[in-house]
Structure 1
Amino acid sequence: MSRADLVVVANRLPVDRVVSEGGESWRRSPGGLVTALEPVMRKPDRAWVGWAGQPDLDIAPFDFEGARLVPVALSASEIEQYYEGFANGTIWPLYHDVIAAPLYKRRWWEVYVQVNRRFAQAAADVVEQGGVVWVQDYQLQLVPKMLRELRPDITIGYFHHIPFPAYGLYSQLPWRRQVLEGLLGADVIGFQRQADAGNFQRSVRRVLRYTTRSSEVVVPSAEGEPRVAIAKAYPISIDADAFIRLAQDPDVQARATEIREQLGSPKTILLGVDRLDYTKGIRHRLKAFGELLEDGRLSVGDATLVQVASPSRQRVDAYAELRDEIELTVGRINGDYDTMHHTAIRYLHQGFPREEMVALYLAADVMLVTALRDGMNLVAKEYVASRIDNSGVLLLSEFAGAADELTSALLVNPHDIDGMKDLIMRAVEMSPGEQSRRMRALRRRVLDHDVEDWSQDFLTDIEKVRRVRRGA
């Protein structure tokens, strides 16, 4: 098998398997990571290592749109314990400020180690001599160190797409030392926010007693001279031009008009777009909107909330319970305030193609992003990119990574329900002039720093390390 100069390692391959009467085929996945890395994968000598999305599927590497895809087989038991268990039952809640209680199960950890080793071996087998491996996200935090042990000739990057918690929370993790050592196998470790990089460095100092300075971590080496790893923020972004093109499409614009009409042509459409996850603040948003209706500050005839909640981790108990709670709340609010002609909340528990999402962005007067904790939240940037006439208001949680960049949004503490209600009313009543001023500033930031800039910034630092190593 030919080797690749750059190998991406992620939990999932960038494709979905489709089985029909005509046989088996593959189609590109719609996920944000796939979109973010698409400019990187367009170039020659690229490979992607990941799980194919179905249990017990053992297939050989294959080519897709010019890239070599290397599937990693996982059993149903491994998916349950490595992915649903340790990754999403332990790491996800711990790293999101313990909004839900993390579970610390030794068997989950053992399988996590086992699966990470399999991913590392697959990457080691496909990367060429002196090449680069770029590991993605919290499911694979041990892979960098494992790779360094297998292939000391290569340069390793790791990007952490979710928050990294403060030491007081991180210290709960029974395997805190092993995870930090795993991450520090990378030469460049990227985070969404500078605060996350700072949290990581503090944990390194407290747990491992390693020296940190600025964006550098001094990693001792048994072979002699210590190695310096870079740990800093590289805020991820979107393909802004793709959203602008869709927003300019007459068919998408016509669909936006149709959506408004189907909702009864309310004066104001508020929109929430999230995975169905307890970190997204959907319950807080619904509570604030319901109280505004109860207080008489909003009326169903004038305002409608559209809530898109795409299915997520449906086999995990916390997510099933969240869905039940949200749907009960939506039903209660609609039962209290719906009329024969208007619905208070249009709730959609499903995903939509990008064209429909852009139509929703164009139809919405106010975008509500009320995450309790979020690495970045690209929905906020997608909404901004789609508002080509500079209208609309973004209400954005200060606990989302996007708040560091999108400072012209209305920034909200989602835990403060009264404060959120006041900001929603400010958004609803905002003058066209103020909308335009704020949206122009937001769009300037999103357009000036797109997803290609993100990947280029990260890979530039990787290349600096690689050049130094080659010169040594």
Structure 2
Amino acid sequence: MRSTTVTVATPATSANAYDFIVVANRLPVDRKIGADGEPVWQRSPGGLVTALAPVMENNDGAWVGWHGAPDETVEPFDQGNMHLVPVPLSAEDVEMYYEGFSNATLWPLYHDVIVPPEYHRTWWDRYERVNRRFAEAVSEIAAPNAVVWVQDYQLQLVPAMLRSARPDVKIGFFNHIPFPPYEIFAQLPWRARILDGLLGADLVGFQRQSDANNFLRSIRRLRGHIVRGSAVHVHDDAGTPTHISRAEAHPISIDTQRIIDLAKSPEVQERAKQIRSELGNPDTVLLGVDRLDYTKGIAHRIKAFGELLDDGRLSVGQACLVQVASPSRERVGSYLNLREEVEGLVGRINGEHDTLSHTAIRYLHHSYPVEEMVAMYMVADVILVTALRDGMNLVAKEYVASQDDQVGVLVLSEFTGAADQLRHAIQVNPHDIDGLKDAIVQAVEMPEAEAKRRMRIMRRHILSQDVTRWSETFLRSLSNEEIEVGAEK
């Protein structure tokens, strides 16, 4: 097994040694300006932080990641009960490692080449260099036999680098995005180096079993290790066995209870009523919530909705589509092109179908706090999740959790990880515009009893399989304990 070498570090034994370490591209905090005008750190919202914070608090944990500002060095600090270790990135690192290799090479490649990936050796060199920096930061603070959980595609080389430096630690890796079929992954010039990097982990987690299978197939084709079931028997270049790395599906979820509590909040319920009134009280509110990303199928759903208006199967006033498209990677050319396309579609459809009292599409190019998003979920009679490829899609799960009255309808792309679990959604192929149009009409016209039946089953799954359950099952599997995963409802 070939890997990038890191100088072996002595296990930390002082006060800065941690038994459980999370490694991610970003720290779980945002810097805000406090009431006194001084900067303060606030915990970022998000299920990953919610799931892992208690584990860190109970196991003397630390989180290693970039703090979000380039060309700035920040000393390690504590926030709440978490110890945070910032890894500095320069503006050039952000451009080449993050915007370049991570998001213009790996992201499109792993999402079925919806747009062409770019392959630049300088980007790869910087990706390798930054991954080494993360691995060294972890190596310096890990206690003997610590558990290290590396997160996502930006850090795929870290497991092998860390194993080289600290063979005593237990290493997990979780890939939050899809892993592509061999025929696509094989296009990557550095494919073997990526696989070797991931195989440094004792457990490599994926959203879907198909992703784990894709990974194992690439291992068989490109690395020659013996694969038995989910276990890869890793050997070095001389053929000497070194360790076993397992590949398993561990679908991520959401902080279900938080969404339920917000949906029951009088303030959020009142806000939901205001939103519906501001939309002109249409019979049916359809909702799309996405980052403005070419993988999300935003243009496909807008085109389908526009054609339904053209065909007379829906009408303005009867139905309104609210599309939240939060800003994303706006310095990357493909994202700028997508924004122009989406805004052009919205403008044309509204120009042809708006009335003085009603708008066909409310397009919101903003990010919103979770309280506002839950209010929007509660307003939505139908949510359209039409991703062309998505590792999981947590919006679908958040919508299900928010439907306390159980009458909302989920239209869900079959190319999302969530489709494996939310099987009672109306599942669609978003490339099939006619099929998508029929699914939207089916959702709008679905009898209330049928909508409640479907939503009740999906909510039962979301309640039993939340983000805490996800982290527990992954970490128990990493430690080779027996786990009992809840049966599919």
Q: Pick the TM interval, shorter chain.
A: over 0.9
Residue 358 of structure 2 is aligned to residue 304 of structure 1:
no
Shift of 1:389: 1.1
Residue 40 of structure 2 is aligned to residue 45 of structure 1:
no
CA distance in 2, matches of 1:202, 1:389: 44
**1:425-440 correspondence runs (5 A):** 425-440=441-456
The aligned amino acid for 2:204 is I
Q: Which residue of the partner structure matches residue 7 of structure 2?
A: none
The aligned amino acid for 1:87 is S
Q: Which residue of the partner structure matches residue 362 of structure 2?
A: 346
Which moves more between the two structures, 316-325 or 40-49?
Answer: 40-49
Residue 21 of structure 2 is aligned to residue 7 of structure 1:
yes
The aligned amino acid for 1:232 is E
**1:449-468 correspondence runs (5 A):** 449-464=465-480
2:176/2:207 contact within 8 Å kept = yes
CA distance in 2, matches of 1:390, 1:294: 31
Q: Which residue of the partner structure matches residue 121 of structure 1?
A: 136
Q: 1:108 to 1:61 in 2, by over 3 A?
A: same
Q: Secondary structure at the match of 2:454?
A: helix
Shift of 1:126: 1.1
CA distance in 2, matches of 1:35, 1:313: 25
Shift of 1:226: 3.9
CA distance in 2, matches of 1:55, 1:237: 31
Q: Size of the alignment, in residue pairs? A: 466
Q: Secondary structure at the match of 1:7?
A: strand
2:32/2:41 contact within 8 Å kept = yes
Q: Secondary structure at the match of 1:375?
A: coil
Q: Which residue of the partner structure matches residue 92 of structure 1?
A: 107
Q: Which residue of the partner structure matches residue 460 of structure 2?
A: 444
Q: Which residue of the partner structure matches residue 48 of structure 2?
A: 33
CA distance in 2, matches of 1:172, 1:404: 27
Which moves more between the two structures, 211-220 or 5-14?
Answer: 211-220
Which moves more between the two structures, 49-58 or 216-225?
Answer: 216-225
CA distance in 2, matches of 1:41, 1:329: 46
2:47/2:253 contact within 8 Å kept = no
Q: Secondary structure at the match of 1:464?
A: coil
Which of structure 1's runs of 4+ aligned residues deviate more than 2 A?
Answer: 18-22, 30-44, 221-226
CA distance in 2, matches of 1:37, 1:96: 27
CA distance in 1, matches of 2:243, 2:59: 30
Q: Which residue of the partner structure matches residue 258 of structure 2?
A: 242
2:48/2:467 contact within 8 Å kept = no
Q: Secondary structure at the match of 1:70?
A: strand
Q: 1:22 to 1:154 in 2, by over 3 A?
A: same
CA distance in 2, matches of 1:284, 1:183: 34
Shift of 1:223: 9.4
Q: Deviations over 1:139-172 (max 9, x none)?
A: 0000000000110110000000000000000000
Q: Which residue of the partner structure matches residue 421 of structure 1?
A: 437
Q: Deviations over 1:311-343 (max 9, x none)?
A: 111111111111111111111110110000000
Q: Deviations over 1:58-88 (max 9, x none)?
A: 0110001111100000000010000000000
- Which residue of 414, 428, 449 maps to 1:398? 414
- Which residue of 325, 329, 350 maps to 1:334? 350
Unaligned ranges ≥5, structure 2: 1-14, 482-489
2:201/2:245 contact within 8 Å kept = yes
Q: Deviations over 1:32-77 (max 9, x none)?
A: 4334433433424010000010101101100011111000000000
2:104/2:118 contact within 8 Å kept = yes
Q: Which residue of the partner structure matches residue 470 of structure 1?
A: none
The aligned amino acid for 1:267 is D
- Which residue of 89, 98, 104 maps to 1:74? 89
Shift of 1:225: 4.0
CA distance in 1, matches of 2:389, 2:47: 18
The aligned amino acid for 2:20 is L
Residue 249 of structure 2 is aligned to residue 197 of structure 1:
no
Shift of 1:228: 1.2
2:253/2:394 contact within 8 Å kept = yes
Q: Which residue of the partner structure matches residue 267 of structure 1?
A: 283
- Which residue of 310, 321, 324 maps to 1:294? 310
**1:50-199 correspondence runs (5 A):** 50-199=65-214
1:191/1:233 contact within 8 Å kept = yes
2:53/2:82 contact within 8 Å kept = no
1:275/1:310 contact within 8 Å kept = yes
The aligned amino acid for 2:475 is L
The aligned amino acid for 1:3 is A
Q: Which residue of the partner structure matches residue 23 of structure 1?
A: 38
1:10/1:140 contact within 8 Å kept = yes
Q: 1:36 to 1:345 in 2, by over 3 A?
A: farther
CA distance in 2, matches of 1:40, 1:11: 19
Unaligned ranges ≥5, structure 1: 466-472
Shift of 1:25: 1.0
Residue 382 of structure 2 is aligned to residue 366 of structure 1:
yes
CA distance in 2, matches of 1:32, 1:370: 22
2:21/2:56 contact within 8 Å kept = no
Shift of 1:19: 4.2
1:36/1:237 contact within 8 Å kept = no
Q: Deviations over 1:226-282 (max 9, x none)?
A: 421110100000111111111111111111111111000000000000000000000
Q: Which residue of the partner structure matches residue 468 of structure 1?
A: none
The TM-score normalised by the length of structure 1 is: 0.97
CA distance in 2, matches of 1:427, 1:118: 49
The TM-score normalised by the length of structure 2 is: 0.93
Q: 1:325 to 1:32 in 2, by over 3 A?
A: farther
Residue 339 of structure 2 is aligned to residue 316 of structure 1:
no
Which moves more between the two structures, 414-423 or 20-29?
Answer: 20-29
Q: 1:392 to 1:450 in 2, by over 3 A?
A: same
1:311/1:351 contact within 8 Å kept = yes
Which moves more between the two structures, 381-390 or 211-220?
Answer: 211-220
1:16/1:26 contact within 8 Å kept = yes
RMSD (CA atoms): 1.4
Q: Which residue of the partner structure matches residue 399 of structure 2?
A: 383
The aligned amino acid for 2:310 is E
Q: 1:387 to 1:42 in 2, by over 3 A?
A: farther
Q: Secondary structure at the match of 1:435?
A: helix
Which moves more between the two structures, 223-232 or 396-405?
Answer: 223-232
CA distance in 2, matches of 1:39, 1:285: 39
